[in-house]
């Protein structure tokens, strides 16, 4: 099965960005662990700091892939257009946030993605991606 992981702005800085909140591991390194954990999954990884590029990628994979794990990062809280893209596509989307967005600033409590997603995971660190993939694998 094919699963796309799409990460939004500043997640290319994982491992060196606010490590007290986001941890010390670069995402590419964590992706190697995911590939070992899920050998039967064909992973496609995409990261962009640009809102429109994230929408283009959602549209690109959203009709062919078996599932999408989306961390839209800061755009989660601002982007109606990313929420619309999630609603438009056919593949189930699991929203993931590394940090607990509900225990931080109030503006992080709003998500334009949650209501359009199959489910959401937040506050469990990078493990949230693993749990999201496990759910997508089990439902296939
Ligand atoms: C984040 C939470 C967002 O509020 C923040 O803007 C991010 C990362 C997370 O994974 O915890 O960039 O999506």
**Number of the ligand 1 atom closest to the C-alpha atom of 123:** 11
- Cα–Cα–Cα angle for 129, 4, 133, rounded to 5 degrees: 35
22 is catalytic: yes
**For residue 85, pLDDT beyond 90:** yes
Strand 42-47's sheet: what is its strand order? Answer: 42-47, 2-7, 67-71, 93-97, 119-122
The domain spans of the chain are 2-139
Estimate to the nearest angstrom the gap between the alpha carbon of 23 and the chain centroid: 16
Q: Does domain 2-139 have CATH number 3.40.50.9100?
A: yes
From 8, 77, 101, 112, mutation site for ligand 1 pocket: most ligand atoms within 8 A of C-beta: 101
**Which pTM value belongs to this model?**
0.98
Per cent of the chain over pLDDT 70 is 100
| Distance, CA of 12 to CA of 98 (rounded, Å) | 13
pLDDT band at 140 (very low <50, low <70, confident <90, very high): confident
| Distance, CA of 29 to CA of 121 (rounded, Å) | 21
C-alpha of residue 74 to centroid of ligand 1, in Å: 6
Q: Per residue in 104-137, pLDDT tens?
A: 999 999 999 999 999 999 999 999 999 999 999 9
| Distance, CA of 129 to CA of 16 (rounded, Å) | 19
Set 30, 65, 75, 97: catalytic member? 97
From 99, 111, 126, mutation site for ligand 1 pocket: most ligand atoms within 8 A of C-beta: 99
**Are the C-beta atoms of residues 93 and 68 closer than 8 Å to each other?**
yes
C-alpha of residue 91 to centroid of ligand 1, in Å: 22
């Amino acid at each position: 099965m094919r699963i796309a992981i799409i990460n939004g702005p500043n997640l290319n800085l994982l491992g060196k960005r606010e490590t007290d909140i986001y941890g010390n591991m670069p995402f590419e390194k964590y992706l190697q662990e995911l590939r070992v954990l899920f050998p039967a999954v064909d992973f496609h990884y995409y990261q962009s700091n640009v809102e429109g590029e994230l929408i283009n990628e959602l549209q690109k994979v959203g009709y062919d892939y078996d599932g999408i794990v989306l961390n839209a990062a800061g755009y989660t809280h601002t982007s109606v257009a990313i929420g619309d893209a999630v609603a438009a596509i056919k593949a189930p989307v699991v929203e993931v946030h590394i940090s607990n967005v509900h225990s931080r600033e109030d503006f992080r409590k709003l998500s334009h993605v949650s209501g359009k997603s199959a489910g959401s995971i937040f506050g469990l660190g990078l493990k949230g991606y693993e749990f999201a993939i496990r759910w997508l694998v089990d439902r296939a």
